[in-house]
Amino acid sequence: MTDSRQFDDIRPYEKGEIKEALRTLLADRLFRSVLHYQVPFLPVSLVTGLLRLFTLGVDSPLQLQKRLMLPIVRYVRWRSTDGNKLTGSPLPPRDGHYLFLSNHRDIVLDSAFLSALLIENDYDTTTEIGIGDNLLVHPWIRTLVRANKAFLVRRSLSPREMFKSSKHMSAYIHYAITCKHENVWLAQREGRAKDSDDRTQPSVLKMLAMGAAEGVKPIEHLRQLHIVPLTISYEYDPCDYLKAAEFQLKRDNPAWKKTGKDDLTSMADGINGQKGRVTYRTAPCINEWIDEYADLPHGTFYEAVARRIDRDIHQGYTLYPGNYVASDLLAAEEAAGGQGYGISFADKYTPAEARHFEDYIASRLALIDIPDKDEAFLRRCLLTMYANPARNHQAASLPC
């Protein structure tokens, strides 16, 4: 039996630790300022008092999520989306526990929305998540995420330290699913795919295979996790203009890097910005097909499984008019430049929807304030973000 104490450096808070975490959080000056920003019409003392009252008796992360975080997520969903649903073909059985491996759209809400949807669909628990320690720029953020079932992913390590850290995290993920009977949400790659060209990194699968018992084949390591590919589809990405700006900043200065302030801006915009319709769609657990790859050489195995997961994720996109309009607009620009993508989705949207989306793109371009602003380049970046899901979905729907 694995001793949970070996994971004390990265694990979420456990039952019995939540009360102290809440006391620490509500006493933090910066956290109180964040609360005031969210509800500026109420005194901070009143808000913190209400939170103390609301969380009386909470002594586990799941209780905290149901009592406090679920109402907050529902409020964010009501304020910033036109609906959020979980669907599947079919949904995973409710008596199991899974690693949901998904594309990544938002730093905070991808897993938060999933946890709310699991509760609303009568699953017995929510998800634990991995969050990079580079995002934990203030003590209150670290306290909040660990109370909210997040385990820490260490960044900026040497290759040797990274290997050791990855093996440690993999062991924890296996422990969470097989011993704690938790679900885990994990992105298919490190960081978000800023152009929405969602591809699973084989290195993620290699990391996941590190954490089971010695002497077990990689395929069995992965099977133990009950991996469910998950597709997240946003009608509108609140951070699209920030991502486009990053593309130009990196183009113009390859050494450019985001700051901690940039990450916080992305987190705030991702939470508060308008998203339109948001759909979560599960594919069947990979245990249903992974045996097809059992005889592949070790190196080829991870690549093949990653590409199969990509196909499941791409087939799972819910596509909105903007995705089709963006693809056609981009195709027209490519044809004019001699590339000629040559596929039209004109039957998927109306002229009014096309005008609406073009107006939307123009409004996002207007938000970008960077030196030597290259509007043509930025427009292509924005169109690419919305076109790639439609293009990848179409490619995944073709016969293998």
Residue pLDDT, tens place only, 369-384: 999 999 999 999 999 9
Tell me if 246 is assigned to some domain: yes
Whether 90 is covered by a domain: the verdict is yes
Cα-based distances in Å from 299 to 213, 302, 366, 386: 20, 6, 46, 33
Same domain, 365 and 285: no
102 plus 188 within the same structural domain: yes
| 8 and 140 inside one domain | yes
Q: Nearest Cα to 171, choosing from 12, 302, 6, 15?
A: 6
3-state helix, strand, coil in the chain (%, to 5): 55, 10, 35
Asked whether residue 184 falls in the same domain as residue 280, the answer is: yes
CA pair distance 156, 169, nearest whole angstrom = 15
Answer whether 0.75 is exceeded by the pTM. Answer: yes
- Does some domain include residue 108? yes
42 within some domain? no
Give the pLDDT score at 85: 95
Kindly state whether residue 72 falls inside one of the protein's structural domains.
yes
Domain count, the chain: 2
Residues 6+ apart with CB under 8 A from 351: none
What residues make up the domain containing 152? Answer: 4-16+61-236+274-315
Q: 243 and 191 in contact (C-beta within 8 Å)?
A: no
Query: Does 308 share its domain with 335?
Result: no
Who's near 222: CB < 8 A, 6+ residues apart?
205, 208, 209, 286, 290, 305
The answer to whether residue 338 sits within a structural domain is yes
Contacts of 257 (CB under 8 A, 6+ apart): none
Low-confidence residues in the chain, pLDDT < 70: 1-3, 211-215, 336-343, 400
Whether 331 and 309 share a structural domain: no
Spatial separation of the C-alpha atoms in residues 367 and 351, rounded to whole Å:
25
- What's residue 129's pLDDT? 92
Domain co-membership, 245 together with 379: yes
Residue 231: beta bridge partners?
281
Q: What is the pLDDT of residue 45?
A: 85
Pair 306, 327 in one domain: no
69: in domain: yes
CA distance 100 to 97: 9
Whether residues 375 and 301 fall in one domain: no
Examine the domain organization and report whether 246 and 228 are in the same domain: no
pLDDT, tens only, 208-228: 998 656 667 889 989 999 999
**What per-residue confidence (pLDDT) applies to 213?**
63
Cβ contact 101:294 at 8 Å: no
- Both 165 and 220 in one domain: the answer is yes
Whats the size of the chain, residue-wise? 400
Q: How many CB atoms lie within 10 A of CB 103?
A: 27
For residue 211, the model assigns a pLDDT of 67
Q: Does 167 lie in the same domain as 244?
A: no
The whole-number pLDDT of residue 359 equals 97
Q: Which CATH number fits the domain that encloses residue 290?
A: 3.40.1130.10
In a domain, 37, yes or no: no
